[in-house]
Amino acid sequence: MGARIAQQTATQITAQIARGGTVALVVAAGRGERFGGAKPKQYADLAGQPLLRHSLAALARHPAIDRVRAVINPDDQTFYETASARLDLLPAVAGGDSRQASVRLGLESLEELRQEQVLIHDGARPFVAHDLIDRILAALGEAPGAIAALPLADTVKRETTGSIGGCVAGTVARDGLWRAQTPQGFRFAEILAAHRAAHRATPGELGLTDDAAVAEQAGLTVRLVDGDPANLKVTTPADLERAARWLAGAKEFRGEEIRGGFGFDVHRFCPGDRVRLCGVDVPHDFALAGHSDADVGLHALVDAILGALAAGDIGEHFPPSDPEWRGADSAVFAAHARDLVAERGGRIVNVDVTLICERPKIGPHRAAMTARLAAVLGIEPDRVSVKATTTERLGFTGRGEGIAAQATATLALPRLHDIPHDIPHDIPHDIPGDIPGDV
């Protein structure tokens, strides 16, 4: 059954989303035979990141989604680790021989979390917008299922079969026909029961191509929620090229917003014979004390980038209480911040680091520091500034007790989520492969 949801106010949507916890399940176990290539399509490169990472990151950032888990093919574990690095996700689980089986296995792995709602999303849809997620979650306040969908705009033809295949056999009335997208949202217990019932009825799976079909078979009402034409699914190499053009075109179409962030950090001296500053080891009479390598310059810079993203601070991403980061190279932290910018489709315009100390002298090492920061951040050296100053022997740095650093970062971010429900001119309105069943 299908019923289109009425328009709702922001207050109504917020109230309905707040009713229960939500987990997202990303289906990424498919082999993508139509895509070809050396690796499955969900791990193909899109704007410098694996395609799947865009989908995972968008869901993980949504404030109403508590947990995110991917269902993958175990043979893709190495690809997946790269795609999911430093994202706050539940461990991935292995999928089955079909999409339907993969979703069922994923749902069963989440049962112990006792979440009220689940969003099921294809890993090959990288542009899922937060307002689309909001609409689906709001609809779950009225029905046990809700899916994103777009009404058919083009005339639909049925093809002849047999020896005269390739000709028009008839015209299909498009009234009431919709193209299903993901995410598809459900009340967790009911969609899990529906998948288990479908599996018991036909253990070899029924070949249902989306989860709404499983819900329909179980007699569940599924709401139709206005989809998003920009929420395209990558099925072929041409789709991937189209997605890359769309991502670049979105920046031009809606422009970029410029954001600035500021970071500050301090580390005291401790026994040692060198300090690491902006990724460069500098000989000195002391070392800097810290849980990681105590690179005060990089720590300030990471906080500046995170600040420009409104993504918290370095301590949230790399807690000093976590033994994993004991003695860690702070370049790892900077690379993480760089990747967060890339996930947002943004770029680092420039960074500026000021080291505050009496000693050691920074000048002889400034060029090496600039080169190191540029390499870690993936930007040109002329976008990196490293300089030093003293406090005229005032304060703790003036007394030679430690080193302070401050940094600024300027980012350019596209307004991707502000794009209305229209589409750039080079994206066809009926995108091939828009049914969810391939991943």
The predicted model scores a pTM of 0.62
Give the span between the Cα atoms of 307 and 257, in whole angstroms: 15
Domain ranges for the chain, please list them: 2-252+421-438, 256-414
Residue 277 · residue 296 · CB < 8 Å: yes
Give whole-number Cα distances, 358 to 184, 218, 242, 385, in Å: 59, 73, 54, 19
Q: State the Cα torsion 206-211-217-221 to the nearest 10°.
A: 180
- pLDDT value of residue 65: 96
Residue 41 · residue 234 · CB < 8 Å: yes
The owner of tokens 């390739």 is 166
Q: Can you list the residues of the chain whose pLDDT is less than 50?
A: 1-19, 253, 417-439
My answer on whether omega of the bond before 183 falls inside 30° of 0, hence cis, is yes
- pLDDT value of residue 435: 40
- pLDDT value of residue 165: 63
CATH architecture group of domain 2-252+421-438: Alpha-Beta Complex (3.90)
Label residue 413 exposed, middle or buried (CB < 10 Å: 0-12, 13-18, 19+).
middle
- pLDDT value of residue 37: 66
Asked if the domains at 2-252+421-438 and 256-414 fall in one CATH topology, the answer is no
Four-way CATH pick for 256-414: 3.30.1330.50, 1.10.40.50, 3.10.180.10, 3.30.429.10: 3.30.1330.50
Q: Which amino acid is at 304?
A: A
Q: Output the six-digit token pair for 84.
A: 């999911």
- pLDDT value of residue 85: 87
* Rg of the chain on CA atoms, in Å: 25
pLDDT in tens, 409-435: 999 987 654 443 333 333 333 333 344
- pLDDT value of residue 5: 35
Give the span between the Cα atoms of 266 and 275, in whole angstroms: 13
Give the span between the Cα atoms of 168 and 152, in whole angstroms: 19
Length of the chain: 439
- pLDDT value of residue 71: 97
- pLDDT value of residue 163: 60
- pLDDT value of residue 351: 97
